[in-house]
């Protein structure tokens, strides 16, 4: 029996129309993308002010369709107006049926000259981004259930190319589904131009990322890893991934308005919501995801409700997975034997994030493209699921994230509150462990082998400060744009004061070396000049000195000609010329890296020839340290005066500072892929 036949689907309702537009200043989208990819958040104004999150209130209502509709209708229209997100859809399942599906705002704002089109929760299609990974995981578990694949077999046995490997431990499907295969991040061609047909094998086999962590040990979210799991499905089943999921996941679940096909089939094309940065801008083109298993799904809110029912064990026309396999899929898949003390916090199941709240077991997955944002959560014990989709980011960089959190957390607090406060008192180890954790951390998801390693300092870092009362101040707190105070509730397990987020710690060599948060994300300690509070001032001061020097040379030449001032003698002239060439090259390289970084983080292609030219400029700048030292030595030997000594020393130090920054953040790498 098809799940759709057992649901009570109300007619589309709650379609809120909004009029008027507003403008707002926004930080560059590329910097926001850097923070997202790095698993970090940037702190804004008032970063030193800590505002503890509110404690969840007791339940205010029974979970019924009538109350849920009233609550959503009171929340979403005003939220869309406030944030500038054009449209939203929400579906909720409970007790084996669709409890409600609501649409708000616009699928098409009419910016192209046509009439605005309201969101219809059944008809309007969204791109839920990485929520797609749940379908890939479901497909993998079907093959495991059928005995065609094994969770702990080397995936190299299933595919027809060499999987990146730097360790003796093989990469398995368990690692791929828990985001622990150890791969660094890759960004190049993550999104393809509209009209491009993605080639999954080519995407995976051409310039794969390096493996930088031992499999199973470091949570580091990996689009490449999930796409590789999808390719295993393709190779083992003998049919293209998109076709396998359509026939074995979507059709049995009754999802007749969903697809992984890119571009969309003709019968679905007119139903696609348009994606927007916010409601003041034009619609974006249809996005093509290069690794379809990791994020290419297109679906409606009601189809996603059918998928949630299937994941909750509703059989429909036929079960997607046996109950035992569903339970395995929903259970944390790695333990202390590989994760160590990081296992004390949220962990990955075989596809889902642990997202518990109010003492309730919740598993889920979020997803983002450039323009669409979504989240799905299941309450397995309560037989409940909620799906939220948005077709815009909003005026602020965190608006789509914050609105999803407001809906999901509000839903949990309204209908599934905590039964009682079971908070533990301060741990006697807190002060000692806080002191061991003090330092600076950056995302485990960073590229390591390429110039994009600079994401570590550009995307943001997290600083942990031990406080006198044994708590720690985390700036910014994981998944937020604000500082957060955490208190130790168990050895190496910390909870946000007044909140529910957990942070775990792993100790090596007498210091905390890793912080775990949010199941598939972790932060790793950095020391010395990788600390942004050291690296960025050094780079900034160096660039300022080089800019002043570069301007002073032509200005000085003009002044000497105009006023007949004496010229410098010819001694050391070659070294001075080489130094000037190096200064200009270093400045040009810094500008080139910055512009390239912004383009890449906006998912726009930067050619290898451009990057090679920037790299050569960086090398010329570093090579100029030698002639700059020769100029200073010559000036001292000739007793050219303290002004010459000071100027030469500053230029030498500035060139050295830029070169050191480049060395630390891999800007000398001859691998210009990304």
The span from the CA of 359 to the CA of 201, in Å, is 42
Angle at 564 between CA 559 and CA 569, to 5 degrees: 90
Better-predicted residue by pLDDT, 245 or 24: 245
Reply yes or no on whether the pLDDT at 53 is more than 60: no
> pLDDT, tens digit, for every residue of 279-288?
999 999 999 9
Query: What proportions of the chain, in percent to the nearest 5, are helix, strand and coil?
Result: 40, 15, 45
Better-predicted residue by pLDDT, 459 or 630: 630
Residue 374, class by beta-carbon neighbours within 10 Å (0-12 exposed, 13-18 middle, 19+ buried)? buried
Closest alpha carbon to 201 in 173, 245, 233: 233
The span from the CA of 425 to the CA of 544, in Å, is 51
CA distances for 125 relative to 67, 178, 227, 257, 291, angstroms: 26, 28, 22, 8, 20
Instruction: Indicate the helix (H) or strand (E) that contains 353.
Output: strand 353-354
Reply yes or no on whether the pLDDT at 402 is more than 80: yes
Structure-block tokens of residue 56: 């969840």
Structure-block tokens of residue 559: 């002044």
Whether this model's pTM surpasses 0.95:
no
- Helix 573-601 to helix 625-637 angle (10° resolution) is 150
Closest alpha carbon to 620 in 601, 592, 650, 594: 592
The span from the CA of 483 to the CA of 49, in Å, is 7
Which residues make Cβ contacts (< 8 Å) with residue 434, sequence separation at least 6? 466, 467, 470, 471, 472, 488
> pLDDT, tens digit, for every residue of 341-376?
999 999 999 999 999 999 999 999 999 999 999 999
Instruction: Indicate the helix (H) or strand (E) that contains 281.
Output: none
Which residues make Cβ contacts (< 8 Å) with residue 221, sequence separation at least 6? 39, 179, 445, 520, 521
CA distances for 445 relative to 32, 537, 562, angstroms: 15, 24, 56
| The pLDDT of residue 64 | 97
| The pLDDT of residue 635 | 86
Strand 191-192 with 117-118, pairing: unpaired
Q: How confident is the model at residue 638 (pLDDT cuts 50, 70, 90)?
A: confident
């Amino acid at each position: 029996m098809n799940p759709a036949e057992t649901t009570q689907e109300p007619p589309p309702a709650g379609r809120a129309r909004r009029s008027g537009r507003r403008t707002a200043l926004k930080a560059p989208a590329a910097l926001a993308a850097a923070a997202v990819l790095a698993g970090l958040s940037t702190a804004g104004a008032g970063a030193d002010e800590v505002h503890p999150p509110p404690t969840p209130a007791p339940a205010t209502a029974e979970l019924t369709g009538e109350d849920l509709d009233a609550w959503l209708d009171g929340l979403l229209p005003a939220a869309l107006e406030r944030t500038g997100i054009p449209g939203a859809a929400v579906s909720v399942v409970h007790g084996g049926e669709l409890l409600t599906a609501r649409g708000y705002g616009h699928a098409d704002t009419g910016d192209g000259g046509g009439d605005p089109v309201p969101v219809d929760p059944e008809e309007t299609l969204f791109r839920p981004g990485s929520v797609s990974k749940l379908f890939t995981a479901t497909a993998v578990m079907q093959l495991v259930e059928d005995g065609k694949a094994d969770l702990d077999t080397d995936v190299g046995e299933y595919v027809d190319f060499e999987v990146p490997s730097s360790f003796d431990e093989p990469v398995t499907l368990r690692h791929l589904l828990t985001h622990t295969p150890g791969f660094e991040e890759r960004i190049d061609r993550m999104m393809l131009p509209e009209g491009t047909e993605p080639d999954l094998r080519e995407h995976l086999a051409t310039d794969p990322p390096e493996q930088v962590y031992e499999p199973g040990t470091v949570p580091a979210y990996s689009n490449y890893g999930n796409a590789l799991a999808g390719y295993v499905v393709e190779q083992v089943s003998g049919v293209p991934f998109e076709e396998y999921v359509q026939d074995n996941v979507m059709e049995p679940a009754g999802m007749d308005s969903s697809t992984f096909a890119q571009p969309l089939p003709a019968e679905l094309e007119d139903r696609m919501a348009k994606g927007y940065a916010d409601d003041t801008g034009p619609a974006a083109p249809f996005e093509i995801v290069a690794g379809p298993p990791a994020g290419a799904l297109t679906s409606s809110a009601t189809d996603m409700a059918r998928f949630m029912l299937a994941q909750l064990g509703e059989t429909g026309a036929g079960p997607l997975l046996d109950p035992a396999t569903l339970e395995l899929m929903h259970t944390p898949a790695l333990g202390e034997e590989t994760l160590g003390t990081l296992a004390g916090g949220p962990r990955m199941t075989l596809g889902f994030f642990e997202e518990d709240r109010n003492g309730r077991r919740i598993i889920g997955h979020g997803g983002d493209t450039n323009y669409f944002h979504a989240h799905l959560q299941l309450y397995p014990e309560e037989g409940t699921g909620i799906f939220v989709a948005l077709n815009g980011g909003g005026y602020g960089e965190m608006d789509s994230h914050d609105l999803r959190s407001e809906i999901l957390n509000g839903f949990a607090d309204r209908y599934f509150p905590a039964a009682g406060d079971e908070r533990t008192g301060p741990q006697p180890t807190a002060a000692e462990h806080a002191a061991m954790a003090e330092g600076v951390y950056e995302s485990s998801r960073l590229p390591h082998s390429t110039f994009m390693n600079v994401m570590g300092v550009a995307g943001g870092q997290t600083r942990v400060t031990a406080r006198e009362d044994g708590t720690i101040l985390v700036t910014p707190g994981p998944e937020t744009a604000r500082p957060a105070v955490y208190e130790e509730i168990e050895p190496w397990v910390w909870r946000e004061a007044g909140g529910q987020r957990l942070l775990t710690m792993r100790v090596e060599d007498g210091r905390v070396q890793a912080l775990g948060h949010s199941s598939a994300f972790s932060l790793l300690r950095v020391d010395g000049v990788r600390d942004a509070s050291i690296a960025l001032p050094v780079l900034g001061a160096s660039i300022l000195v080089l800019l002043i020097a570069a301007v002073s040379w032509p200005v000085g030449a003009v002044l000497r000609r105009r006023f007949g001032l004496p010229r410098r003698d010819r001694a050391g002239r070659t070294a001075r010329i080489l130094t000037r060439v190096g200064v200009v090259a270093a400045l040009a390289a810094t500008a080139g890296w910055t512009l390239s970084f912004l383009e890449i983080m906006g998912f726009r292609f930067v050619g290898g020839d451009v990057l090679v030219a920037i790299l050569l400029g960086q090398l010329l700048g570093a090579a100029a340290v030698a002639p700059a030292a020769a100029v200073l030595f010559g000036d001292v030997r000739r007793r050219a005066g303290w002004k010459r000594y000071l100027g030469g020393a500053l230029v030498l130090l500035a060139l050295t500072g830029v070169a050191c920054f480049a060395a630390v953040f891999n800007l000398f790498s001859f691998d210009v892929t990304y």
